[in-house]
Amino acid sequence: MSSNPRTSPSIAVGLTAVFALLAAGFAWAGADTTSAPSPAPTATPVLVTIANFAFAPATVTIPVGGSVTWKNTDLTEHTATAKNGAFDSGNLDTGQTFTFTFHKALIYTYVCSYHPSMVGTVVVQTPAPTASGSP
């Protein structure tokens, strides 16, 4: 067999390596990865604004592991205090914020401890299971 000057052993080895990598990539792309847990996506906290003696929005829904940030834009002090004791922002002066991360699926009702007519709700839901495999 005569040697072709256009193809050298190093090119043949290089092409073999490229094909092997491509084959491994295709095999990995089709692999079932449902058994390995994936980290929960990091989401931006949901913002609840305190203004005009009200929480806006009054009700927010987030997944387990999600966060809520309360920001006081009112001209007076307020708090965000869970009725079940799960969280308490303490005093929030104008412009101050408080962030809380929720680790348990539950409905949390909260109030301003200075103004009990100010009421809000955080609904924390367990994410729906995703379907494994594809049809």
Tell me the per-residue pLDDT of 30-39, one tens digit each, with 9 for 90 and over. Answer: 444 444 443 4
Question: Which of 122, 102, 17, 115 has the alpha carbon at shortest distance from 60?
Answer: 122
Q: Where are the domains of the chain?
A: 46-125
Tell me the per-residue pLDDT of 117-131, one tens digit each, with 9 for 90 and over. Answer: 999 999 999 977 766
Instruction: Examine the pLDDT at 45 and tell me if it is beyond 60.
Output: yes
Token pair of 101 as six digits = 């991360």
pTM of the model: 0.65
Pick the CATH number of 46-125 from 2.60.40.420, 1.10.260.40, 3.30.930.10, 2.40.30.10: 2.60.40.420
